[in-house]
Chains A and B, each alone.
Chain A
Amino acid sequence: MELSNQSITSLRKQLTSGDICSADIIGSLADAIEKKDGEIGAYLSHDLDAAREAAKTADLSLPLGGIPIAIKDNINVKGQPCSCASRFLDGSYTSPYDATVISKLRAAGAILYGRTNMDEFAMGSTTENSALGDTRNPHDLTRAPGGSSGGSAAAVASRSAIAALGSDTGGSIRQPASYCGVVGLKPSYGRVSRYGLVAFASSLDQIGPITQNVEDSALLLNAISGRDAMDATSLDQPDTDFTQGLNDGVAGMKLGLPKEYFGDGIDPAVRHQVDESIKKLESAGAELVEISLPHTEYAVATYYIIAPAEASSNLSRFDGIRYGNRVENPNDIIDLYRRSREQGFGPEVKRRIILGTYVLSSGYYDAYYNKAQKVRGLIKRDFENAYQKVDAILSPVTPNVAPTIGADKDNPLQQYLADIFTISANLAGICGISVPCGKVASESGSQLPVGLQILGPHMGEQAILKVARAVESSD
């Protein structure tokens, strides 16, 4: 099998036994990118020559020694562009520092060679909000890969990346992973440092792995997790090897099925795949428990107050002063801000900044933002109560399969509503993983992937990785 089609685990075995060298992997990857990325468009940039150089001195004794990892374009890698798929930063910002996850990947021996497409500033669910390129779903080129980490998911799905990092604020790792048929993990809030991730919503964002299989996901989580002095929201945590116990199976585990996640509005074909997958877990010895997450119906509204509010604050740094594309011949400083931002930001980004500014503005703060934070607390408590009864929670990832490119183009609200199953995990700060569980035939005959979502308690990644592995091995 082509090296670029193989998982991290498989490649590491061959590297350490001396059957292959890192340069072989880079060579295979370069071929794959050349063959496939023209029509998929997963990458915004890459430097395979630099990767070949790095491969020469790869330290194979390190856990990810010699392995190339693709990086979503909102994570700072020193010396590389970091555009967040925005015209604001395109061609005018080169990272002067490494994000902590990048320093950790380097310390683990990984090679960082390429930057993947995304929705601009991580705002979107199809990667169509990228100002710098189009990405297509490798399973059906007329369809979107999902978003906002669509480039990372499409690269891994098409095997033009071995593995990648993405970021998840409302589902942006799990949903594209589901649409593209790969594994996507959103760690618990505080599990992974956000230092060097361009912030969208600081109380919701997490960086996480997008991989071909569950074991690779655990390997990457090992590499990137940990308390970081540069991110005060990252948490003290015991040194854990997330690959331990991966194959222990689900016998004796209690798995919750929240009734609010299994109602109407789910594509029956998607629902069928999810149900079949859940049945297999029961056959494997898990006990299914019906539970309720009563504040689910308020989750999307709560998110679309809190996230834009935080975004409006975080994106105020894009003012054209210290970095980014500055408008020519401004009349004065205010004109410089207003026109640089007008020219630099795409419509969805502007929409969310305006929405966020509004809900935080005088006279509206209590009615919207304050109230949303209280509802957020209720959602978090729903999960804490549930985890008194169950070890993990199962649900669909999305109510549909990957949408066609251009669907709901002028209807942002419709796009927001599809986030219903992923969004609560970010509000509650818990961990969640999407693992492929089947495929649905489209009208055109393409086979569209479906993901099963497994949600775990805060810092409960070991449980959800174990369940995900059980799903994977039951196929």
Chain B
Amino acid sequence: MSSERTEQIDVRYVAKLARIDLSEAECETFQEQLSAILGYIDTLKDLDLDTTDTEGLPAIDDNYLREDVSRPSLSQEDLLRNAPESAKGQVRVPKVVDA
């Protein structure tokens, strides 16, 4: 049996971290749904990894690196074509620094 959840996910706070502007209604719905999901995920707590043999577990595979040599890529024109706003060969964005 999974244990009682001691902490509730703070959906509003996490949404801020994730840069998503959730509505009040969404916060409420997600609070409920995510609490249920996290309640289920807590079944992993039952698994005592201290006594389970985790020695030599297959790891995510090695990194394959290539030579650090530059090579042709897409053109600036190709890449700007999808930009919502662009000017002078650059992507236009709101001011990021208060100068």
CB neighbours (8 Å) of B54 from chain A are 374, 377-378
Interface residue stretch chosen among A193-201, A340-348, A467-475: A340-348
B87 within 8 A of A: no
Q: Tell me the count of chain B residues lying within 8 A, CB to CB, of chain A.
A: 50
B1 within 8 A of A: no
> How many residues does chain A have at the interface if contact means C-beta atoms less than 8 Å apart?
65
Fill in one digit per residue for B36-47: 1 if any A CB lies within 8 Å of its CB, else 0: 111011111001
Nearest CB in chain B to that of A328: its residue: B84
Give the docked Cα–Cα distance between A384 and B58 (Å).
Answer: 10
Known: A301-B41, A334-B19, A413-B36. A377 touches B59 (CB 8 A): yes
Q: Which stretch from A9-17, A155-163, A351-359, A392-400 is at the chain B interface?
A: A351-359
- Confirm or deny: A439 has a beta carbon within 8 angstroms of a beta carbon on chain B: no
Within 8 A of A (CB), among B24-56: 26, 29-30, 33-34, 36-38, 40-44, 47, 49, 52, 54
- Please give, as numbers and ranges, the residues of chain B lying within 8 Å of A355 by CB-CB distance: 34, 37-38
**Minimum CB distance partner of B94 in chain A:** A333
Q: Verify A320–B44 contact, CB threshold 8 A.
A: no
- Cross-chain contact of A304 among B9, B23, B41, B83 (Cβ < 8 A): B41
Once the chains bind, are A350 and B26 in contact (CB under 8 Å)? yes
A415 to chain B, nearest CB (A): 11
Evaluate whether A350 and B14 lie within 8 angstroms (CB atoms) in the complex, with A322-B83, A375-B44, A378-B57 already known.
no
What separation, in Å, do the CA atoms of A300 and B81 have in the docked complex?
Answer: 40
Assembly CA distance A92 to B65 (angstroms):
33
**Which interface residue of A94, A203, A323 has the most chain B CB atoms within 10 A?**
A323
Q: Which of B15, B30, B78, B93 interacts with A321 by CB under 8 Å?
A: B93
Is the beta-carbon distance between A338 and B19 smaller than 8 angstroms? yes
Q: Which of A97, A301, A357 contacts B17 (CB 8 A)?
A: A357
In the complex, the answer to whether A336 meets B93 with C-beta atoms within 8 Å is yes
CB contacts under 8 Å to A, within B1-27, are 9, 11, 14-15, 17-23, 26
Judge if B66 is at the interface, Cβ distance under 8 Å: yes
Interface flag for A361 (CB, 8 Å): yes
Q: A363-382 interface mask toward B, CB cutoff 8 Å, 1 = contact, 0 = none?
A: 00000100111110110110
**With A203-B60, A357-B14, A377-B54 as contacts: A229 and B66 at CB distance below 8 Å:** yes
| Contact status B34-A312, CB under 8 Å | no
Residue of A nearest to B66 (CB): A229
Q: Are B94 and A354 in contact (CB under 8 A)?
A: no
Is A319 part of the contact surface with B, judged by Cβ < 8 Å?
yes
Q: Report if A354-B74 is in contact (Cβ < 8 Å); known contacts: A232-B64, A298-B44, A320-B84.
A: no
13 contacts between A and B (CB under 8 A): A300-B40, A301-B43, A301-B44, A320-B84, A323-B83, A324-B84, A333-B94, A341-B19, A342-B21, A358-B14, A378-B54, A381-B58, A410-B33
Residues of B within 8 A of A (CB): 9, 11, 14-15, 17-23, 26, 29-30, 33-34, 36-38, 40-44, 47, 49, 52, 54, 57-61, 63-66, 74, 78-79, 81-85, 91, 93-96
Among all A-B residue pairs, the 9 with the closest Cβ atoms: A377-B57, A326-B84, A338-B21, A323-B82, A342-B21, A337-B19, A96-B78, A357-B18, A301-B41
